[in-house]
Amino acid sequence: MTETVATLEPGLFKRPWVFIRGVPDMKFLPPEGPPEVAFAGRSNVGKSSLINALLEQKGLARTSNTPGRTQELNYFVPEGFSGEGGDLPPIALVDMPGYGFAQAPKEQVDRWTKLVFDYLKGRVTLKRVYLLIDGRHGIMKRDEEVMALLDKAAVSYQVVLTKADKLKTPGVGRLLGETSEKIKKRPAAFPEVLATSSEKGEGIDDVRAAILTAARS
Ligand SMILES: Nc1nc2c(ncn2[C@@H]2O[C@H](COP(=O)(O)OP(=O)(O)O)[C@@H](O)[C@H]2O)c(=O)[nH]1
Ligand SMILES: [Mg+2]
């Protein structure tokens, strides 16, 4: 029996995925080829939880209550590709190191900034960044700075409000409206803002569909 090949179809998210590498520096990036979709946002906003919810694999991306712990670009791909000789996966999801951890030493912040800026500016196969915003706090100063960077680098990004389960229903609608209004003039921002709860599974299918569209583009 021949195994079906992982393609950019909704079934992709039902397949097993694997962590392939943590990249602490641009020189360790995997071979350029598959479209990449990256998840950025403050520490603790819910990046790793969202990746686990999208892939229905609870412990795949390591979630943590210790902000600022992950300092690498963590690569996740559908299982079954050697990565050698053109045997590349159809897509890669990248869990980016979080920002905005007040207690982080300057040296660490500088290293983060360099890695993230280099990646966002220089990775030609990066199709879309999902910029996660904690639904309880809304867009903060550091988020604005990252948006400005993405606009400058002309990297397409879409804002995702996280932890919607912590808000009352009217609160989610209001925040979606406010957030859309705030990003209206940002050239590289996708106008539609999504709301998710990784805990309750809300909005997860919308993010999956958006990822497929971005990866196919
Ligand atoms: N209530 C709720 N908590 C969440 C949700 N997503 C993440 N969290 C919690 O927020 C904390 C940080 O999540 P994590 O995914 O590690 O954030 P990251 O640092 O951005 O990768 C963890 O304690 C998660 O359990 C969500 O949708 N709802
Ligand atoms: Mg994380």
The closest-lying atom of ligand 1 relative to the alpha carbon of residue 64 is 16
Q: Which mutation among 49, 70, 132, 202 tests ligand 1's pocket best, with the greatest number of atoms within 8 A of CB?
A: 49
Residue nearest to atom 19 of ligand 1 (CA): 44
Residue 6 — pLDDT band, cuts 50, 70, 90?
confident
Over 70: is that where the pLDDT of 159 sits? yes
Residue nearest to atom 9 of ligand 1 (CA): 46
Ligand 1 pocket residue status of 71, Cβ below 6 Å: no
Q: How far is CA 69 from CA 72, 98, 112, 206, 207, in A?
A: 9, 8, 11, 28, 25
Residue 1 — pLDDT band, cuts 50, 70, 90?
very low
Lowest mean pLDDT among 2-6, 48-52, 193-197, 206-210: 2-6
Ligand 2 center to 53 CA (angstroms): 13
Q: What's the start-to-end Cα distance of the chain, in Å?
A: 32
* Digit-coded pLDDT (tens) for 116-149: 889 999 999 999 999 999 999 999 999 999 999 9
Ligand 1 pocket residue status of 212, Cβ below 6 Å: no
Place domain 23-216 in its CATH homologous superfamily.
P-loop containing nucleotide triphosphate hydrolases (3.40.50.300)
Rounded to whole angstroms, how far apart are CA atoms 26 and 19? 18
Residue 155's nearest CA partner among 117, 134, 176, 126 is 126
What's the pLDDT at 205? 97
What's the pLDDT at 204? 98
What's the pLDDT at 2? 47
Q: Find out whether 56 and 14 touch, Cβ atoms under 8 Å.
A: yes
Beta-strand pair 36-41/92-95: parallel
The closest-lying atom of ligand 1 relative to the alpha carbon of residue 65 is 23
Residue 188 — pLDDT band, cuts 50, 70, 90?
very high
Over 90: is that where the pLDDT of 67 sits? no
Which ligand has the minimum distance to the alpha carbon of residue 166?
1
- What global pTM score does this model have? 0.95
Average pLDDT over residues 169-184: 95
* Digit-coded pLDDT (tens) for 9-34: 989 999 999 999 999 899 999 999 99
Average pLDDT, the chain: 92
Ligand 1 pocket residue status of 163, Cβ below 6 Å: yes
What's the pLDDT at 111? 84
